[in-house]
Amino acid sequence: MTETTNVPYDERTALLVVDVQNDFADPEGGLYVSGGDKIIPTINAEISRAAAAGATIVYTQDHHPEVTPHFAKDGGTWPVHCVAGTWGAELHPDLTVVDAPVVKKGTGGEDGYSAFSVRDPESGDEDSTGLDQMLRDQGIERVVVCGLAQDVCVKDTTLDASRLGYETTVLLEATRPVDLEPGDGQRAVDAMVEAGAQAMGKG
Ligand code: VGL
Ligand code: ZN
The answer to whether residues 78 and 24 touch, using CB atoms and an 8 Å cutoff, is no
pLDDT digits (tens, 9 = 90+) for 100-120: 999 999 998 888 899 999 888
Which amino acid is present at 168?
A: T
Query: What's the pLDDT at 78?
Result: 96
- Which protein residue has the closest C-alpha to ligand 1 atom 3? 78
Query: What's the pLDDT at 110?
Result: 86
Output the ligand 1 site: residues, CB below 6 A.
Answer: 19, 24, 62, 78, 148-149, 152-153
pTM of the model: 0.96
Under DSSP, the state recorded for 175 is E
Interval 44-57 mean pLDDT: 97
Under DSSP, the state recorded for 122 is T
> How many whole angstroms from 81 Cα to the centroid of ligand 2?
6
> How many whole angstroms from 142 Cα to the centroid of ligand 2?
26
DSSP collapsed to 3 states, 46-89: HHHHHHHCCCEEEEEEECECCCCCCEHHHCCCECCCCECCCHHH
Instruction: Just list the catalytic residues.
Output: 19, 105, 153
Residues 6+ apart with CB under 8 A from 86: none
- Which protein residue has the closest C-alpha to ligand 1 atom 6? 153
Q: In whole angstroms, give the CA distance from residue 35 to residue 155.
A: 17
Interval 53-71 mean pLDDT: 96
User: Nearest 5 degrees, angle CA 23-CA 26-CA 27?
Assistant: 105
pLDDT digits (tens, 9 = 90+) for 152-180: 999 999 999 999 999 999 999 999 999 99
